[in-house]
Amino acid sequence: MKFIIRLLVTAAVAYGLSMMLKPHIVIDSYSTALIFVLVLGFLNAIIRPILVILTLPITILTLGIFLLIINVLMVILAGKFVDGIHIDGFLWAFVFGILLSFLSSTLSGLLKEDK
């Protein structure tokens, strides 16, 4: 049940962010946002750990900042897999990824504390 609530919250945040960043990030519908969040979660579970291990020396040299680059790559890759999403470029994927992570974590934390 927690997974479904977190999925719905993250999809709502992604769709809301696409409305705020409209010309640069476009998500056609809420159902497209749900699919995007599922794909992003799958990529973060499967591909991201491999990338983190492969780029460990760069991550250590940059004191962990390179993990932000990996986060952006996951957002761009998920956008490529899902039809109905347009991301304007690396900078906008960076902004979208940071805001998506922060807002979805905050809202999920608030929902957890209410119980």
Write down the pLDDT at residue 100.
94
In this model, does residue 3 exceed pLDDT 90? no
Q: Which residues lie below 8 Å from residue 28, measured CB to CB, with a gap of 6+?
A: 84, 85
Write down the pLDDT at residue 110.
85
In this model, does residue 114 exceed pLDDT 70? no
Distance CA 39, CA 76 (A): 11
Taking phi first (over 0 means left), then psi (-120 to 50 degrees means alpha), and beta for anything else, what does residue 94 get?
alpha
In this model, does residue 113 exceed pLDDT 70? no
Give per-residue pLDDT as tens, 81-110.
999 999 999 999 999 999 999 998 898 888
Distance CA 98, CA 77 (A): 15
Residue 86, phi then psi, degrees to nearest 5: -130, 120
In this model, does residue 115 exceed pLDDT 60? no
* Count of domains forming the chain: 1
User: Which structural domain range is residue 13 located in?
Assistant: 2-114
**Side chain identity at 1, as an amino acid letter?**
M
Give per-residue pLDDT as tens, 49-76.
999 999 999 999 999 999 999 999 999 9
Distance CA 16, CA 107 (A): 13
Confidence of residue 16 (pLDDT cuts 50, 70, 90): very high
